[in-house]
């Protein structure tokens, strides 16, 4: 009797585990956002929100049902997902509209290790700065490092803070802040799309600082570097193009050796 009972329980347990494994396998194979965990596991579904150190993901099971599963942020290496529509709508928007669009978006997704989230944080900081809310801009840049310590996104925080330093008229200090990023970028012959965007941000600050130092040729070189090397983020490449055109208009015959 005892053996039979134990055998029954074992069978039930294994059946339950097998069922759970099947459901999880089905979740991982569903189309949608892709989460890469630090142990190499790939999870596919739809990222709903981030809260209390967890990412809530919804996905379909093989039988057409829907499950919601939480994953710890501390276990996640990166997330690939299409940016929400608000990220597209905010392009070219004035600071007030940008703040109105990005604040609720980041309330929902802040801390998610996805490139677009960090880009949104940078854009929100820029909007705050444009509105004269420098303290809020600084806090936003500092939050990038707080959410993603020791990550590649540190470049975004550094370049953003350097842009604020430049606005204060501290030109040499701003250059000093972005110089390590410039040096690393010059050694990176094959940057990823996200790395290219991060480098571009630093080069834009670098170019504007060189302009402020009355070094138009070096500034133009910085802008052209974005256009030719770190063009992965189209918005930043367009910004570099506009800055280069304006600089050439102000300095007829300006070129780069």
Residue 256 is predicted with a pLDDT of 78
Contacts (Cβ under 8 Å, ≥6 apart) of 106: 117, 120, 121, 124
In this predicted structure, what is the pLDDT of residue 30?
41
Q: Where are the beta strands (DSSP E) in the chain?
A: 33-37, 42-51, 54-60, 66-72, 76-80
The predicted-structure confidence for 138-172, as pLDDT tens digits, reads as follows: 999 999 999 999 999 999 999 999 999 999 999 99
Q: Is the pTM of this model over 0.85?
A: no
Domain boundaries in the chain?
2-80, 87-250
Select from 2.30.30.100, 3.40.640.10, 3.30.450.20, 3.30.930.10 the CATH code of 2-80. 2.30.30.100
87-250 homologous superfamily = Tetratricopeptide repeat domain (1.25.40.10)
Give residue 18's pLDDT. Answer: 40
What is the Cα–Cα distance from 214 to 229, expressed in whole angstroms?
A: 24
**pLDDT profile of the chain (257 residues), mean per 10:** 36 40 40 89 93 91 85 95 88 91 96 95 96 97 94 95 97 98 93 93 98 97 96 93 96 85
Asked, colleague to colleague, whether 2-80 and 87-250 share their fold, the answer is: no
Mind giving me the DSSP string for 230-249? S-SSHHHHHHHHHHHHHHHH
Residue 196: predicted pLDDT: 94
Q: How high is the pLDDT of residue 107?
A: 96
Pairing of strands 76-80, 54-60: unpaired
């Amino acid at each position: 009797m005892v053996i039979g009972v134990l055998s029954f329980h074992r069978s039930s347990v294994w059946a339950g585990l097998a069922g759970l494994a099947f459901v999880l396998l089905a979740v991982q194979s569903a189309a949608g956002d892709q989460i890469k965990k630090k142990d190499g596991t790939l999870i596919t579904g739809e990222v709903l929100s981030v809260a209390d150190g967890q990412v809530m993901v919804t996905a379909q099971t093989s039988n057409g049902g829907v499950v919601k599963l939480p994953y710890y942020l501390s276990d996640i290496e990166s997330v690939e997902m299409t940016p929400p529509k608000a990220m597209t709508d905010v392009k070219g928007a004035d600071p007030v509209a940008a703040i109105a669009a990005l604040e609720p978006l980041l309330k929902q997704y802040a801390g998610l290790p996805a490139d677009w989230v960090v880009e949104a944080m940078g854009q929100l900081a820029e909007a705050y700065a444009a509105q004269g809310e420098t303290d809020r801009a600084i806090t936003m840049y500092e939050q990038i490092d707080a959410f993603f310590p020791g990550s590649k996104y540190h470049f975004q925080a550094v370049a953003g803070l350097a842009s604020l330093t430049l606005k204060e008229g501290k030109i040499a200090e701003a250059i000093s802040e972005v110089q390590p990023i410039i040096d690393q970028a010059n050694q990176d012959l094959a940057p990823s799309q996200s790395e290219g965007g991060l480098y571009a941000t630093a080069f834009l600050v670098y170019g504007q600082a060189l302009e402020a130092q009355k070094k138009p040729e070096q500034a133009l070189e910085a802008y052209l570097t974005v256009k030719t090397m770190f063009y992965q983020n189209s918005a930043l490449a367009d910004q570099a193009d506009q800055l280069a055109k304006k600089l050439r208009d102000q300095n007829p015959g300006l070129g780069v050796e």
